C-alpha cells in the first residue's frame, strides 16, 4: 500500500481554492502510484477557522467541498480534515473530524478527542470531544487515524485524562496516521519530533504525520511532515515552509525503502527568518494585497523589516519612507539610504519638522510654559504614523509595523505612531535576536549596513537620545522578559536566579502597564512559544505583579 502525505497551504474559508488544491494533489498522488492521499487537520476550511464555525453555511460548504472531492476518489482514497455536525443535541454543535473517503463514498468519520485550549488554541469553544474510537480498514490493513493533539498526551504532565491511542491500539492496527495543524515556533520542531517518536515507540507502530504549511494572519504553519518506524526512529521529514507531497510504501509491517535519519534542525535564527518571510507573503497574498509601506529610520528594526519585506514581496513592491526629524542624525539618513541602495526598493524622503513644529505651535496655548517631554516626542512619532497611513490610503500600500518584542513588552513605542500598521513583522522577535537576524540576512552580502547594526539604538525624538536612557541593557532586559513571558516565572523566581530585584520589579511593572498598548497594536507574526496577541491573554486593569 502506498500512502501520499499532501502538505498544502490552505486559506481559511476559501473553499474553491482549498478544494482545487486537494483535488490536484489527489491526481498528483495517484500519478505517483499512491493508493491513499492524506491531508491535514481541517484542510477543507483552513485552520483556525475560529468563529466562522458558528455559521451554518460555513459547515454546509465544507460538506459540499467534501462531496466534490469524493467524486475524484474512484481510483485513490483520501483522508481529509473538516468540521462535521454533532447529531446529538447535548454538547457542542460540531466535531473536529476527518473523512476517510474511498470510491466516492465517506466510509468512516474520525473525530478528535483531545481539544487544546491553551496558548493560541481555543478548540473547546466550538467542538465536542470524541468518546469512541474505531480504526479504519483499507486494502486489508487496520489504520489508527488520529487528529493532531490526540497524540500529544504522552508527556510527564498529561493535559488530558484519556488517550485515544490507548483505545485504538486494542483493535490491533498496523499503522498510525496523524493529521495536524501544528503551528510554528522556533522551538516546536524539536518537540514535535520527540512527541511523535515517543508515540511510535510506545505503541510499536510506524507513524505517518502530515502537517499543513502557510500563514493564517499571525499563526504560521511550517509543514515538516514526518515518517517514523515502529521503534520511534525518524525515517523522513518533508520540506519546511513550503508545500510538498511525498509517497511512502507500507508493506503491512513497516515503511519500506527508508533508513533511519536525524532531524535536520535549522538554527533558530534561520527558522525565524524563513517563518517571517512566509508570514509576510501569505498575509499579503491571502488578503489580496501586493505592496507594502514602512517607515525607514536608519535603525536596525526598520532595516530588518524592509529587508524581509523585499525578500517576501520583491523590492519593487516595497515603499520605504524616510521621515527625518530635527533630531535625526546625518548618519541615520545615510544608513537608511544605504539600505535602500543595497536592496533597490522604492523610497520617499518626507521630513516631519514642519508638521511637528505646527503641532507644537498649535498646542502651545494648552501646554503653556510646560517643559519639553514625552508629549512632544510622541507628536513626532505620530506625525510619522500619519505619513505612512497617508501613503497607504493614497497608493494602496499596506503598512508594516516595525516594533520588536522587547519594545512591545515594555511599552517603548507610541500608540498611533510607530506602533501603527496592519501586521507586526518582528513583534515576536527580541532585540537581541534582531541583531542575530541582521547578521543572518547579511550572511551572503551586506544588505543591512554595518553601521545600522553596530550603532547604539535610538528613537531620535530628542537630542542625543539613546534607548539605554529609558531601558535596561537589552542583554539583561531580554533575559528577564523571556523568563517572565515565555517561561511564566514570577518576580520572586526571577530574582532568585541572580537578577537585581529593583530591575526585575521595574521590568515586570513596565510589561504589565503596557498591556493597554499591546491590546491596540496590529496582529504579530508568531515565531516564539509565547507571542503577544491571541496566545497571551492578560487583563488590562489587573494588579497582580504590577
Tens digit of each residue's pLDDT (9 = 90 or more) over 204-252: 999 999 999 999 999 999 999 999 999 999 999 999 999 999 999 999 9
**pLDDT at position 532 over 90:** yes
**pLDDT at position 158 over 90:** no
- Mean pLDDT over 182-193 rounds to 95
The residue among 358 and 329 whose pLDDT is bigger is 358
Distance CA 209, CA 39 (A): 10
Instruction: Report which of 304, 250, 313, 252 is spatially closest to residue 280, judged by C-alpha positions.
Output: 313
Query: Hunting for cell 453555511 — which residue is that?
Result: 57
| Residue 478 belongs to some domain of the structure | no
Contact call for residues 341 and 306 (beta carbons, < 8 A): no
- What pLDDT is recorded for position 542? 82
How far, in Å, are 68, 89, 97, 179, 533 from residue 86 at the CA level? 22, 8, 10, 20, 31
- What pLDDT is recorded for position 159? 87
Q: Tell me whether residue 157 is exposed, middle or buried, using C-beta atoms within 10 angstroms of its C-beta: 0 to 12, 13 to 18, 19 or more.
A: exposed
SS3 392: helix
Partnered with residue 540 across adjacent β-strands are none
**Same-domain status, 380 and 449:** yes
19 membership: H or E segment, kind and range: helix 15-31
**Same-domain status, 222 and 370:** no
- Mean pLDDT over 486-515 rounds to 95
- What pLDDT is recorded for position 470? 74
- What pLDDT is recorded for position 463? 74
> CATH number, domain at 21?
3.60.110.10
Q: What is the DSSP string of 153-221?
A: --SSS-SSS--HHHHHGGG--SEEEEE---B--TTHHHHHHHHHHHHHHHHT--EEEE--EEEETTEEE
Task: Label residue 214 left, alpha or beta by phi (over 0 means left) and psi (-120 to 50 means alpha).
Answer: left
Point out the annotated binding site for L-glutamine: 118, 182
Average pLDDT, the chain: 95
Distance CA 37, CA 226 (A): 15
**Which residue range is the domain that position 309 belongs to?**
271-468
SS3 95: strand
- What pLDDT is recorded for position 460? 67
**Same-domain status, 209 and 241:** yes
Q: Which residues are catalytic?
A: 41, 112, 148
- What pLDDT is recorded for position 8? 98
- What pLDDT is recorded for position 462? 66
Point out the annotated binding site for deamido-NAD(+): 378, 407, 517
Peptide bond preceding 502: is omega within 30 degrees of 0, i.e. cis? no
**Same-domain status, 278 and 349:** yes
Distance CA 174, CA 156 (A): 26
| Residue 523 belongs to some domain of the structure | no
Q: What is the 3-state secondary structure (H, E, C) of 330-343?
A: HHHHHHHHHHHHHH
**Same-domain status, 309 and 242:** no
Cell matching residue 458: 535610538
- Mean pLDDT over 364-376 rounds to 93
**pLDDT at position 546 over 70:** no
- Mean pLDDT over 16-30 rounds to 98
**Same-domain status, 309 and 342:** yes
- What pLDDT is recorded for position 386? 97
- Mean pLDDT over 323-328 rounds to 87
What sign for the dihedral angle of Cα 60, 65, 68, 69? negative
Tens digit of each residue's pLDDT (9 = 90 or more) over 403-422: 999 999 999 999 999 999 99
| Residue 181 belongs to some domain of the structure | yes
| Residue 493 belongs to some domain of the structure | no
Tens digit of each residue's pLDDT (9 = 90 or more) over 239-291: 999 999 999 999 999 999 999 999 988 999 999 999 999 999 999 999 999 99
Partnered with residue 142 across adjacent β-strands are 137
**Same-domain status, 252 and 322:** no
Instruction: Report which of 347, 342, 344, 372 is spatially closest to residue 359, judged by C-alpha positions.
Output: 372
Point out the annotated binding site: 118, 182, 295-302, 378, 402, 407, 517
**Same-domain status, 294 and 324:** yes
What is the percent of the chain where pLDDT is above 90?
91
Structural domain total, the chain: 2
**Same-domain status, 253 and 391:** no
**Same-domain status, 79 and 121:** yes
Q: Select from 230, 258, 286 the last residue of a domain.
A: 258
**Same-domain status, 94 and 12:** yes
**Same-domain status, 127 and 253:** yes
| Residue 413 belongs to some domain of the structure | yes
- Mean pLDDT over 381-395 rounds to 97
Torsion, Cα of 404, 467, 456, 524 (10° steps): 0
- What pLDDT is recorded for position 459? 64
Q: Select from 228, 258, 288 the last residue of a domain.
A: 258
- Mean pLDDT over 9-26 rounds to 98
Cell matching residue 485: 513571558
**pLDDT at position 153 over 60:** yes
Phi, psi for 313 (deg, rounded to 5): -110, -15
Q: CA 271, 211, 1 angle in degrees (round to 5)?
A: 130
Amino acid at each position: 500500500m502506498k500512502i501520499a502525505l499532501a502538505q498544502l497551504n490552505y486559506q481559511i474559508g476559501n473553499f474553491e481554492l482549498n478544494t482545487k488544491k486537494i483535488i490536484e494533489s489527489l491526481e498528483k498522488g495517484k500519478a505517483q502510484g499512491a493508493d491513499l492521499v492524506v491531508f491535514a487537520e481541517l484542510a477543507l476550511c483552513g485552520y483556525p477557522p475560529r468563529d466562522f464555525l458558528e455559521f451554518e453555511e460555513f459547515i454546509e460548504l465544507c460538506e459540499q467541498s467534501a462531496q466534490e472531492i469524493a467524486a475524484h476518489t474512484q481510483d485513490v482514497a483520501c483522508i481529509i480534515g473538516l468540521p462535521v455536525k454533532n447529531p446529538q443535541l447535548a454538547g457542542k454543535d460540531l466535531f473536529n473530524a476527518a473523512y476517510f473517503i474511498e470510491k466516492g463514498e465517506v466510509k468512516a468519520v474520525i473525530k478528535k478527542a483531545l481539544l487544546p485550549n491553551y496558548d493560541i488554541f481555543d478548540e473547546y469553544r466550538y467542538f465536542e470531544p470524541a468518546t469512541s474510537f474505531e480504526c479504519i480498514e483499507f486494502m486489508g490493513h487496520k489504520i489508527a487515524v488520529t487528529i493532531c493533539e490526540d497524540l500529544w498526551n504522552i508527556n510527564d504532565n498529561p493535559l488530558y485524562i484519556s488517550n485515544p491511542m490507548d483505545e485504538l491500539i486494542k483493535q490491533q492496527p498496523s499503522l498510525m496516521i496523524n493529521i495536524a495543524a501544528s503551528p510554528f515556533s522556533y522551538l516546536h520542531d524539536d518537540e514535535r519530533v520527540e512527541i511523535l517518536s515517543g508515540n511510535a515507540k510506545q505503541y510499536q507502530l510506524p507513524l505517518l504525520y502530515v502537517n499543513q504549511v502557510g500563514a493564517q494572519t499571525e499563526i504560521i504553519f511550517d509543514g515538516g511532515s514526518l515518517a517514523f518506524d515502529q521503534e520511534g526512529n525518524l525515517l523522513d521529514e518533508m520540506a519546511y515552509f513550503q508545500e510538498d507531497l511525498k509517497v511512502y510504501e507500507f508493506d503491512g509491517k513497516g515503511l519500506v525503502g527508508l533508513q533511519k535519519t536525524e532531524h535536520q534542525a535549522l538554527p533558530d535564527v534561520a527558522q525565524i527568518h524563513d517563518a517571517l518571510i512566509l508570514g509576510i507573503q501569505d498575509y499579503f497574498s491571502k488578503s489580496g494585497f501586493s505592496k507594502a509601506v514602512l517607515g525607514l529610520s536608519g535603525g536596525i528594526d526598520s532595516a530588518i523589516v524592509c529587508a524581509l519585506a523585499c525578500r517576501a514581496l520583491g523590492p519593487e513592491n516595497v515603499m520605504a519612507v524616510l521621515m527625518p526629524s530635527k533630531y535625526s542624525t546625518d548618519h541615520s539618513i545615510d544608513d537608511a539610504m544605504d539600505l535602500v541602495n543595497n536592496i533597490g526598493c522604492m523610497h520617499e524622503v518626507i521630513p516631519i519638522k514642519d508638521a511637528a513644529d505646527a503641532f507644537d505651535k498649535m498646542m502651545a496655548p494648552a501646554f503653556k510654559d510646560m517643559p519639553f517631554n514625552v508629549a512632544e516626542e510622541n507628536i513626532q512619532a505620530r506625525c510619522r504614523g500619519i505619513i505612512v497611513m497617508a501613503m497607504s490610503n493614497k497608493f494602496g500600500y499596506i503598512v508594516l509595523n516595525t516594533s520588536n518584542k522587547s519594545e512591545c513588552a515594555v511599552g517603548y513605542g507610541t500608540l498611533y505612531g510607530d506602533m501603527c500598521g496592519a501586521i507586526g513583522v518582528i513583534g515576536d522577535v527580541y532585540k537581541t535576536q534582531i541583531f542575530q537576524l541582521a547578521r543572518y540576512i547579511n550572511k551572503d552580502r551586506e544588505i543591512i549596513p554595518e553601521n545600522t547594526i553596530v550603532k547604539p539604538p535610538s528613537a531620535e525624538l530628542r537630542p542625543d537620545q539613546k534607548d539605554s536612557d529609558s531601558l535596561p541593557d537589552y542583554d539583561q532586559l531580554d533575559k528577564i522578559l523571556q523568563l517572565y513571558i515565555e517561561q511564566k516565572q514570577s518576580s520572586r523566581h526571577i530574582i532568585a536566579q541572580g537578577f537585581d530585584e529593583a530591575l526585575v520589579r521595574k521590568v515586570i511593572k513596565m510589561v504589565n502597564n503596557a498591556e493597554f498598548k499591546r491590546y491596540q497594536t496590529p496582529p504579530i507574526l508568531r515565531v516564539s512559544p509565547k507571542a503577544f496577541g491571541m496566545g497571551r491573554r492578560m487583563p488590562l486593569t489587573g494588579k497582580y505583579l504590577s
